[in-house]
Amino acid sequence: MPEPRRIAYQGEPGSNSHAVCAQHYPDWEAVPCASFEDVFAAVEAGDAELAMIPIDNSIAGRVADIHHFLPGSGLYIVAEHFLRIRFHLMGLPGASLDRVRTVHSHVHALGQCRKVIREHGLTPMISGDTAGAAREVVEAGDPTQAAISPPMAAGIYGLDVLAEDVEDEDHNTTRFVVLSPDFERAPVGRGPVVTSFIFNVRNLPSALYKALGGFATNGVNLTKLESYMVGGQFTATQFLCEVDGHPDEPALKRALEELEFFTTDVTVLGVYPADPFRA
Task: Tell me the catalytic residues.
Answer: 174, 176
Cα–Cα distance list, 131 to 14, 16, 38, 55, 74 (Å): 5, 8, 18, 19, 29
For Cα atoms 237, 271, 48, give the angle at the middle one, nearest 5 degrees. 95
Amino acid at position 121, single letter: G
User: Is the CB of residue 20 less than 8 Å from the CB of residue 176?
Assistant: yes
User: Is the CB of residue 24 less than 8 Å from the CB of residue 177?
Assistant: no
| 196-222 as b/e: b if 16+ CB within 10 A | bbbbbbeeeeebbebbbbbbeebebee
| DSSP H helical ranges for 162-225 | 207-217
| DSSP H helical ranges for the chain | 16-24, 36-44, 64-69, 107-111, 114-119, 130-140, 151-157, 207-217, 250-259
For 121, which DSSP code?
T
